[in-house]
Amino acid sequence: MKYFKYYNDWPGPTSLVHTGELIENKLTLTFNDHTWFDRELKGIGMLSDKEYLPNVLDVNVSKLSITVEHGINLNHALYEKLKLPENWKQQVLDVVKDLEESLIYKLNLYPHTFIFVNDKVKLIDLYACAGAHEKIKYNTIESLVQPSSKERFKFVKDDYLEIDKIYQYTKINNAGDWEGDMLNG
C-alpha cells in the first residue's frame, strides 16, 4: 500500500523527497536522489543511540531505499481515531525534549513523522534532522519549499539555513498542525 498522510481531510504524499510503501509492519522509503537518501542515513546516525529510532530492517543503496519497522502512524491514528497509548502525548513531548537537549532539530516536526511500534513512539523521516550548527545551503531545499512553508524558511544567512531559527519558527507557529499548542506546553 502506498504510504500517505491525511492533509485537509484528504490522503496525500508524506514527502516530496521520497515515496513510501507500507507492507504489513514494514515501511520502505525510496528516495528521489542520493542527497535525501544520504541525509536520511545521517539522521539515522544522529539518533543511533535513541530508543525512538525505529528498527532499521534494510538499507538498499542501489535502490536508494530504507526499510524500517512500522506500527501506527500518529497522523492516521488522530484522523481515524485509532487507539493510541494513553501517554502518547507525553511520549511525543519527551522525544522533542530529548532532540532539543541533544541539539538536534527536526525541521519536519509533523504528526505523520511519529509512529508507534508496540505502544512506543518512534521517529521517521529523519532526513530533516539537523544539528543546531549544521551548515545546509538554502539551495539544497529551495525546490521543496512550498508556498505554505516559505515564511518559515526565510531564515537564511550567507546562503545557509539558520537551523535554530527555522526550528523555533516551526514549533511556535505550529507548522505541523498539532492539536492545540501541544509542542509549546
Q: What pLDDT is recorded for position 185?
A: 67
Q: Which residues of 99-118 are buried (b: 16+ CB within 10 A; e: fewer)?
A: beeeebbbbbbbbbbbbbbe
Strand partners, 157: 160
Question: Is residue 119 packed enough to be buried (19+ CB in 10 Å), middle (13-18) or exposed (0-12)?
Answer: middle
Residues 136-168: pLDDT tens digits? Answer: 999 999 989 988 889 999 999 999 999 999 999
Please compute the mean of the pLDDT values over residues 65-84 and round it to a whole number: 97
Residue with cell 538536534: 104
Number of domains in the chain: 1
pLDDT of amino acid 61: 98
Which 3 state secondary structure label does DSSP give 72? strand
pTM of the full structure: 0.94
Which residue range(s) make up the domain with 109? Answer: 5-184
